[in-house]
Amino acid sequence: MKSTCYLIVLSLVLLISCKPGPDPIQYGFDGCHYCSMTIVDKQHASEFVTQKGKVYKFDASECMINFTKDFDSSVIALYLVNDYNNPGVLVDATRATYLISENIPSPMGAYLTAFNSKEEANIARDINQGILLSWDELGQRLRN
């Protein structure tokens, strides 16, 4: 009976430890999986994590989206982007609001910036002009 309990507990620990999660970006050391540039910008970096826990890191949101064009998206567990107002903080990319504004340069020249909330994105648009997009709208725009 004890061995069965140990086996169940061990299985639960292994199951929990295998849950895919974000991996902190090592700015100045990690390279972009799409363009191979070193990731240094804490306001525009991004990453995605597969169901098996493999992490792909990018220096810009547009690199991540362009990389996924040739990737089986059904195996992706998490899409994460840096929140512009909290440099170095990764947030759920599918819930972020995106601003394309030529007044906010991004590493790869798409002028694409992610915000954790629509309210913050609206404030940034009022200051910098540009257009706001959801995750789905951004994907349609960049994948075409």
What's the whole-number mean pLDDT along residues 82-92? 97
Q: Is the pLDDT of residue 139 over 50?
A: yes
Which residues partner with 97 through β-bridges?
115
pLDDT category at 104 given cuts 50, 70, 90 is very high
Residue 75 falls within a domain, yes or no?
yes
pLDDT of residue 14: 47
Query: And the tokens for 69?
Result: 């064009």
Report the number of distinct structural domains present in the chain: 1
Residue 20 falls within a domain, yes or no?
no
Residue 17 falls within a domain, yes or no?
no
Counted residue by residue, the chain has a size of 144
Q: Is the pLDDT of residue 63 over 90?
A: yes
Residue 77 falls within a domain, yes or no?
yes
Residue 47 falls within a domain, yes or no?
yes
SS3 75: helix
Q: What are phi and psi of 123, to 5 degrees?
A: -60, -45
Residue 59 falls within a domain, yes or no?
yes
- Given strand 86-92, what is the order of strands in its sheet? 55-58, 46-50, 76-83, 86-92
Is 85 in contact with 67 (CB distance < 8 Å)?
Answer: no
Show the domain range for 47: 25-143
Q: Is the pLDDT of residue 3 over 90?
A: no
Prediction pTM value: 0.85
Distance, CA of 22 to chain centre: 9
What's the whole-number mean pLDDT along residues 30-54? 96
pLDDT of residue 24: 95
Residue that wins the pLDDT comparison between 2 and 23? 23
Closest CA to 32 of 51, 58, 53: 58
